[in-house]
Amino acid sequence: DTLTVMKVCCIGAGYVGGPTCAVMALKCPDIQVTVVDRSSERIAQWNSEKLPIYEPGLDDVVKKCRNVNLFFSTDIETAIKEADLIFISVNTPTKNFGNGKGRAADLKYVESAARMIAEIAQSNKIVVEKSTVPVRAAESIMHILHANQRPGIRYDILSNPEFLAEGTAIEDLVHADRVLIGGEETPEGHKAVEKLSWIYEHWIPKKNILTTNTWSSELSKLAANAFLAQRISSINSLSAVCEATGADVSEVARAVGLDSRIGAKFLQASVGFGGSCFQKDILNLVYICEGLNLPEVAAYWQQVIDMNEYQKSRFSQKIIESLFNTVSDKRISIFGFAFKKNTGDTRETPAITVCKTLLEEGAKLDIYDPKVEPEQIIDDLTHPCVTESPENVKKAVQIHSDPYSAVRGTHAIVLCTEWDEFVTLDYKRIYQSMMKPAYIFDGRKILDHENLQQIGFHVQTIGKRY
C-alpha cells in the first residue's frame, strides 16, 4: 500500500508531457493523471478535438482517457497540492543570452517549476525530472526545494529521462526499450525509485526498468542522443565521399549495418538531422565538458554538430549549383517542412536552412507539408529573418495544401522530409506541369530515381552521383 501512487501531476503539456501522461493514464486506470501548463492556449487545445501536436495514435489514447483519469488543466496549484508524484516536463532550450549563450541548457523553466512546487506543496512529494537536463541538475532542484521547504514536508528527487522520438511517440512509450530511473543511494531514495517503478510496471516488464544513481541517469540521456546523432553525422560525412567517388551511401550503410556489432538503424544519410533535441543536447554536453576542463572531449562531440551544419549547407549549395548557379526569381517547390515524417514539428528542421539559403539567393518558394501549419512555416522563415525583410520573405513564399498545386510552373522540387505520400505521387503529371529542365533534389533518398530519370527529371540526391 505504501507503494501505491494515486495522483500524478505533470508540469508541461508539450511533446513529452502530453503523450507520456496519455499513455500512463491508459495503462494505469488506478492513477489519476493531471497535466498542467501555464499556457492556457495549449491546455485548451488538449481539451479540444484538435490536439496541439500530431502523433500517430495519440488522438485515440487521449479520447479514451480524457476526463476519466487524464485531465488537462491550468490550475497548477490544485494539481501540485493533490499530487503524490510530480513530473517536471518543461522545455529546456539552449540559452540565447549571457553565460553559455548558444550552448548551455536554459534551466529557467525547470527552476520556475521547482519554485512553484516549493511554494504550493503541503505534503510530501516525489519530484521527477523528466525534462532533459545537464548532469547534476537534480542538485539544483533539490537546493531550491530544500531552501523553501515547509517544516514536515519531505521531497525526493528522481531523474527519469524520456527516450521517445516524435512521430512514433505512442509506440515508443507503450513498448519502451527501457525506462531509466535515477535516484539517491539512500533508503528513502530507493523507496522513491520503487514508487516510480511501480507506475511503469503497469505495462513495462520489470527487467526493462533500469535504476541507476541520479547523475548516471542524467548523463545517459545526453549520451544516448549524442550517440544517435553521431551515427547520422558519421554516415552523412561518408555521403560526401560517396558523391566524390561514385560509391553509393545506401550500399555502404547496408554493408556496414549488417555487422551485428554496428547494427542497421540510424544509418540513413540525409539532408541533416533536425528536431528540438539532438543539437541542443550535444551543445549542452559540449558546454559541460568545457566546464569540466575536458576540451578534447568537448571538441570530439562538437564535430557531430559541425558535420550536420556542413551537410545542410552542402545540400543547399548543390541545389544552387545544379540550377546553373542562379536561383534568382526561379520558383522552387519544397516537399516537406517538418524535421521528420509523421510530425508537424519544425523545430531545427533542416528545411529551414535549405529554404533560407534559397530565399537569400532570390528564389521563390512553393512549400507543401501535410501536417505543418502554414503560420508555423512563415514564422520559421521570418524569425530570425534572413537578409530579406519579413515582408519580402512573405511575398516570396507560397504555401500549398496539395503537392500538385505546389509544383505548377516550378523549376525544381526539393524534398526535405521523408513523408510516405511523396513516394507514391504521380510524377509524370508533376513533370508535365513543371518548367524544363525539371530537377528533383531528394534530400531523404526515398524516391525511385530511375523512374524519375525515365520520366525526364534531372535527379540529385545525397551520397550518390548521377
C-alpha cell at 289: 565538458
Q: How far is CA 231 from CA 204, 238, 269, 274, 319, in A?
A: 28, 11, 9, 14, 25
Other Cβ atoms within 10 Å of 159 Cβ, number: 27
Q: DSSP character for 6?
A: -
Q: How far is the CB of 270 from ligand UGA (least distance, A)?
A: 3
Identity of residue 263: G
Which of 132, 302 has the CB closer to ligand NAD? 132
Site string for ligand UGA, 225-254 (x = CB under 6 A): x--x---x----------------------
- Radius of gyration of the chain measured on its C-alpha atoms: 24
Q: Does 12 bind ligand NAD (CB under 6 A)?
A: yes
Q: How far is CA 418 from CA 60, 68, 309, in A?
A: 24, 37, 19
Strands 458-461 and 439-442, how do they pair? parallel
Active site residue 277: yes
- Is 268:228 a contact under the CB 8 Å cutoff? no
C-alpha cell at 238: 561518408
Residue 102 annotated as binding?
no
Identity of residue 384: P
> Which one among 45, 69, 94, 132 touches ligand NAD, defined by CB under 6 A?
132
Residue 80 backbone dihedrals phi, psi, to 5 degrees:
-70, -45
Site string for ligand NAD, 172-211 (x = CB under 6 A): ----------------------------------------
The dihedral over CA atoms of 177, 182, 186, 188, expressed in degrees to the nearest 10, equals: -80
Q: Which one of 107-115, 138-146, 237-245, 368-376 is the stretch in contact with ligand NAD (CB under 6 A)?
A: 107-115
> Which residues are within 8 A (CB) of 279 and not within 5 positions of it... i.e. 6 or more apart?
94, 229, 273, 305, 308, 348
> Which one among 10, 16, 406, 447 touches ligand NAD, defined by CB under 6 A?
16
Q: How far is the CB of 180 from ligand UGA (least distance, A)?
A: 11
Which one is catalytic: 277, 289, 355, 416? 277
Q: How far is the CB of 51 from ligand NAD (least distance, A)?
A: 12
Of 193, 3, 161, 196, the C-alpha closest to 85 is 196
According to CB under 6 A, which residues from 264 to 293 bind ligand NAD? 276-277
Q: Does 58 bind ligand NAD (CB under 6 A)?
A: no
Q: How far is the CB of 254 from ligand UGA (least distance, A)?
A: 12
The item of ligand NAD, ligand UGA, none sharing an interface with residue 13, based on CB under 5 to 8 Å by kind, is: ligand NAD
Q: Which one of 11-19, 148-156, 229-237, 319-327 is the stretch in contact with ligand NAD (CB under 6 A)?
A: 11-19
User: What stretch of H or E contains 42?
Assistant: helix 40-46
- CA angle (133 as vertex; 132, 134 as ends), nearest 5: 140
Q: Does 166 bind ligand NAD (CB under 6 A)?
A: yes
User: What stretch of H or E contains 61?
Assistant: helix 58-65
Q: Does 89 bind ligand NAD (CB under 6 A)?
A: yes
Q: Does 300 bind ligand UGA (CB under 6 A)?
A: no
Binding residues (CB under 6 A) for ligand NAD: these are 11-17, 37-39, 42, 89-92, 109, 112-113, 131-132, 162, 164, 166, 276-277
Binding residues (CB under 6 A) for ligand UGA: these are 132, 162-166, 225, 228, 232, 266-268, 270, 273-275, 277-278, 339-340
Annotated binding site for NAD(+): 12-17, 37, 42, 90-94, 131-132, 166, 277-280, 347
Residue numbers annotated as active site: 277
